[in-house]
Amino acid sequence: MSPTKVRHQHEHRFPVAAAILVNLALALFLPSQVLFFPSWVVPLLGVLLLVPLIVFNPRRLSRETTWSRWLSFGLAIMLTVANQLTVIRTVMVLLNGHADGGAVLLTALQVWVSSIIAFGLVYWELDRGGPVARRRPGLWKSDEADFQFPQETDERTASWRPVYLDYLYVGLTNMVAFSPTDTMPMTVRAKMIMAYQSVGGFILMALVISRAVNIIA
């Protein structure tokens, strides 16, 4: 099998499924004081949305229908919204002055990791119509690209295609640097989502964590 064919194989299910399960597991251990609803709600909904997707594409993401597309994108949006609600609740608890320092530090770390996973999912679903569409002939070079990766500018990696871990890295660098690094957003929607994620990351670093350290001290 040639290298070109290997690169064009459909994406594996395991990395994205593992990341989602980590996100759902983190939600189970959030302190009750920062939750809008019971801790089991998001994990339960996440599993209910994830299981049909795994059954439909158990090993590689080679098939797509309207319902699977909406279900997959809905899962990414649900995890992102749940994550942001936790950020809001954490800030509210801090402003009320009734926060436990250790709990807030732990919550900040959980939300930070979950934010990277969730926004990585959104970028992964958004760019060029999602993981299945990105493998379709002709679509990769279309004007619908939301992100431009450095591999696209090198002729030696012309057949390269991103996978979820590439978008996870975009989410990580955006949370750490509060700006794009090697991968550039190309559309307004991608820029706005990255800007929103950066604001959330700044709040966690500048407000939540610093305030929690003050409470402990």
Angle of helix 66-96 relative to helix 41-56, nearest 10 degrees? 160
96: tokens are: 């009320």
pLDDT digit string, tens, across residues 80-119: 999 888 888 877 777 776 666 667 777 888 888 999 999 9
Alpha helices in the chain (DSSP H): 3-7, 14-28, 41-56, 66-96, 101-126, 164-177, 188-203, 209-216
pLDDT digit string, tens, across residues 2-58: 444 444 578 899 999 999 999 999 998 888 777 888 889 999 999 999 999 999 999
**Cβ neighbours around 55 below 10 Å, total:** 8
pLDDT digit string, tens, across residues 126-151: 998 889 888 876 666 666 788 888 88
Task: Determine the Cα angle at 5 with ends 55 and 56, to 5°.
Answer: 10
